Amino acid sequence: MTKRELLKKIFVIAFPASVQFIVQYVQMSTDMAFVGHYNSAGLSAIQNARVSYFLFLSFFMSFSTGTNILIAQTLGAKQPDRAHRIAETSLCYNQIIGLAYLVFWLLFGRSVLMALGARGEILDSSAVYIRIISLQFLIDGMVLTANAIFQGRGNTMPITIGSAIRALVNVPLDYAMIFGKWGFPEMGIAGAAWATVMSGFMGSGVILWLLARDQRFPITLRGMLRPASELYANVIKIGIPAGVEMMI
């Protein structure tokens, strides 16, 4: 492979991934802009909730990071069957961890916010916001793993498509659910959270659909329900250091 061909391949992989991060930033900015116009105190509540939420989310993402690295390594070593098993195993275990995160935030979200200094109205609004957005963990384990699978294979376009759909759907939902437009009730900061969850489910659904239809890297339900624990031990070994670094 020539230098020019290598650079072109890197660009093809990197550009969609870069767009994904830009889209995510736009979505976050949209939430804050709408909430700021609705109630300036809501900005503090969102910021407080998101700092806590993303602190723990960064560690959760370490498991998908381990999946990404291992799939890339095994495919590079010409071991596609092993890569498939890593993907199926990670989809199972990462989703189980995601559901554990959901339970944690529903039960202890308010306590975490208090420990990080939230009080009064800010605490109440932040607790409502984080309780709602934590519902994303209903599917986040599989979605983050699907992203890792696509990245490990060097195919980042499906991630970009899903992120773009999420951001585009989030804008009208924010407007409608925060201010009470188009038949929706006026929900304020709770509306911003519901808009994030609903648009996230739509974008995530597209990513999972694209993964399920990908004949070049078939994922089977049987394989997911029979995960290989020894392979997931390697995912944890590689991913945990990355998760600790991201939290710090």
**Dist. CA 21–CA 19, nearest whole Å:** 5
**pLDDT of res. 211:** 94
**pLDDT of res. 14:** 67
pLDDT single digits (tens) 145-198: 999 899 888 888 888 889 889 888 999 999 999 999 998 999 988 999 999 999
pTM score, whole prediction: 0.88
What is the average pLDDT across 218-226? 90
**pLDDT of res. 132:** 94
CA distances from 104 to 88, 110, 130, 184, 191 (A): 25, 10, 11, 29, 22
Which residues, at least 6 apart from 9, have a Cβ–Cβ distance to it below 8 Å?
A: 1, 154
Greater confidence (56 vs 202) lies with 202
Greater confidence (70 vs 29) lies with 70
Percent of the chain whose pLDDT exceeds 90:
46
